[in-house]
Copies of this chain bind each other. A is one copy, B any other.
């Protein structure tokens, strides 16, 4: 397993001071696979940049919406509050993602957005946003973005509602893999940017079950795991887990 590097550079790579130079937002705003020039919305965003440390809140559920945020660097999670006080992670966000759109309904956020590590986001103020959307093209872009997010959330609800633990973790790995590939990185080797606890919370499992399942995949030589470093040896094996119900 010499090919798995440790992640020493994690914090060094995001030293709380991210400049726009290395942040290739211009090209990576398409990273979501959007069929349009999403970055046409975001150059404006430079005027209001926000830096967050690990664990800091971008916004909290209930906060009135200031605008929409574009992730320039680092990673965040979206958590919806439950009636019993717990929080459930419903999405992870990486470079190029838009965050905060669920507030467009009420004008107030229905979820928290929390930085997983040092990260930087751009705020597009609501007023500017409205003005920008007077252009039909941008208006269509936003609708597509929202539609895509809605479809993604529907798929996630189906995953946590029906699949077994092994299937959920496999789906998670495959989605991470596809996400990195879409951003131009390897689909076989990547670093999980969240804890086992976060993965479990996201998938509706305990962190012990996540850990056990990853170990199981590794014992089958489908993957290699070392801490947050993942190496996928057999994508097809993971996919085939999803093809048979149960």
A208 within 8 Å of B (CB atoms): no
A132-159 interface (Cβ within 8 A of B): 133-134, 136, 139-140, 142-151, 153-158
Listed from nearest, the 9 A-B pairs whose CB atoms lie closest are: A104-B147, A105-B148, A161-B204, A105-B147, A88-B158, A160-B161, A84-B245, A83-B242, A157-B157
Assess the B154–A90 pair: CB atoms within 8 A.
yes
New A-B pairs, 8, CB < 8 Å, besides A104-B150, A105-B150: A78-B154, A82-B158, A82-B163, A82-B245, A90-B158, A104-B147, A142-B143, A146-B146
Partner of A151, one of B83, B106, B154: B106
A199 to B160 Cα, complex, angstroms: 16
Contact with B along A218-230 (1 / 0, CB 8 A): 0000000000000
> Copies of this chain, how many?
2
With A133-B139, A136-B134, A149-B105 as contacts: A162 and B86 at CB distance below 8 Å: yes
A244 within 8 Å of B (CB atoms): yes
Assess the A147–B84 pair: CB atoms within 8 A.
no
A169 within 8 Å of B (CB atoms): no
A: number of interface residues (CB 8 Å) = 53
Assess the A161–B88 pair: CB atoms within 8 A.
yes
Give residues in A with beta carbon < 8 Å to B. 78, 80, 82-86, 88, 90-91, 101-106, 110-111, 130, 133-134, 136, 139-140, 142-151, 153-158, 160-163, 201-204, 239, 242-245
